[in-house]
Amino acid sequence: MHSLTLSAVILTIVLNSISHAEWPNWRGPNMDGSSSAKNIPTKFSPNENIRWSQKMSGKAASTPIISNGKVFITTTNEDKKELLAVAYDLKSGKELWKHVVGKGLNQDNRSNYAGASPVSDGKHVVFFFGTGDIAVFSHDGEIQWKKNIQEEYGKFYFLWTFSSSPIIFDGKIILQVLQRDTPVHPAQQGGGKKSSFILALSLDKGKEIYKTNRPDEAKSESKEAFSTPVIYKVDGKSQLLITGGDCITGHDPDSGKEIWRWGTWNPTKIGHWRLVPSPVAGNGVALACAPKGDPVYAVKLGKNGKLDDSSISWKGKKDAIASDVPTPLFYDGYFYIAHNGKKRSHVLSCVEPSTGNVIWSENLNVNGKIEASPTAADGKIFVITHHGEVVVVAAGKKFNKIHQTQMGAARNGIVRSSVALSDNTALIRTDDTLFCIGK
């Protein structure tokens, strides 16, 4: 082989290995909560195996991301009611830069506007907030462009504080706004009737590439979704998967055009079923999690048009294989679903994708609710609770709890940030601290 060709092959392999070992968006490099990262630490505490830690200036539900040796995070300054974009050095924890992207804190007392996680393509990093403020920076912190989605496309119609993380695909920022059709708060009045939509902006300049309506038959709060779209390849072609409005849909990510839809998990049109979990796909099916303890549904991929229930491969047992808030994980051939059950049980289940057979379902014996989504790498699954308890479980057919520790403020915490994983590294965000675990 020619030396230049060989060098190109080696470079490609190196770049691919780097990208798969990073955590460039909320659900990781595969958009399913998993990573190929190695040597993830399993023994840690606030005083053990800490590479560095950084105090946070305010609470936020967003997950930190890892790209090109940097950590990017959205957070708040609660005193000044500022929405912040921050970058740290992955090795040292040194703050590299910080910018105020928006003003405001929350619309309700359960969350704030810094719920969406950043996303990076390795050169740029995108920050979005529930105020509608979106900004793109270079990795060095230079602003590329900034705008407000509400100012350009109208007020958001949500009962709760809006949060959906943007993703990057083929030079496009893709964002979903699955909202009510009529206003619910006094500040939203005057905007007229609205539709839910999918928006694609050019990464380099923020120019609109498409804005596609995403209709649904849901009522009231059930139109509201706080999920994030994901990309998954179906028959060799990338599809954009979206859950919300009592249905799951697949779209062409280049145009936003709908390819298929299935629904509903809400045939009686209950009006208070807002949706939080994002879709996750693996082994030819996509999971859609009905809210409020109703089942998880596995939809067969590869079909077109409006699908009937014959396209459901399986559904979970109500109040057992269900998830009201955490997005399930797909890792090494299995789905892992976190669920807050009855009698304060907090359960993690391992499920076979094609059949829905439960391999194991175990109470993690933690005190706090699980609202962060499980993540995995190096044969290990990481789960964090509201109270900052972190549990590490072995992946695979046999349940084995490897480690459990308290990283947060115990019963005063409301931790929703997932654990981000990279080679030799786990990032754990509590209400007041960002910990980097690893030597």
The string of pLDDT tens digits covering residues 291-327 is: 999 999 999 999 999 999 999 999 998 778 999 999 9
Q: What is the pLDDT of residue 261?
A: 98
Secondary structure letter of residue 225 according to DSSP: B
How far from the centroid of its chain's Cα atoms is residue 3's Cα? 42
Q: Which residues contact 117 (CB under 8 A, 6 or more apart)?
A: 25, 26, 62, 63, 64, 65, 74, 165
State the burial class of residue 412 (Cβ atoms within 10 Å of its Cβ: 0-12, 13-18, 19+): exposed
pLDDT at 411: 67
Query: 427, 62 in Cβ contact below 8 A?
Result: no
Write out the E strands in 139-207: 143-148, 167-169, 172-177, 197-202
Q: Mean pLDDT per 10-residue run, the chain (439 residues)? A: 40 41 95 97 95 95 97 95 97 98 87 95 97 98 98 95 96 98 90 94 98 97 98 96 98 98 97 97 97 96 97 89 96 96 88 96 94 98 96 98 90 88 97 94
Domains of the chain plus CATH, in order, are: 1-58+334-439 (2.40.128.630)
For the stretch 119-130, pLDDT in tens is: 999 999 999 999
Burial, 213: exposed, middle or buried (Cβ in 10 Å; 0-12, 13-18, 19+)? exposed
Question: Residue 264 is encoded by which pair of tokens?
Answer: 């509903």
Residue corresponding to tokens 């754990």: 428
93: nearest Cα among 120, 125, 70: 70
Q: How far is CA 37 from the centre of its chain?
A: 18
Give the E-state strand segments of 226-290 in sequence order: 230-234, 237-244, 247-251, 258-262, 280-282, 285-289
CA distance 183 to 301: 35
In whole angstroms, give the CA distance from residue 267 to residue 104: 37
Please classify residue 144 by burial: count the beta carbons closer than 10 Å to its beta carbon, then call 0-12 exposed, 13-18 middle and 19+ buried.
Answer: middle
Angle at 107 between CA 102 and CA 112, to 5 degrees: 60
* Helix, strand, coil distribution of the chain in percent, nearest 5: 10, 40, 50
Contacts of 131 (CB under 8 A, 6+ apart): 83, 102, 103, 104, 113, 148, 150
Instruction: Give the global pTM.
Output: 0.94
| pLDDT of amino acid 20 | 53
Question: Cα separation of 195 and 188, whole Å?
Answer: 14
* Amino acid at the residue 319: D
Amino acid at 127: F
Give the C-alpha separation, 316 to 237, whole Å.
28
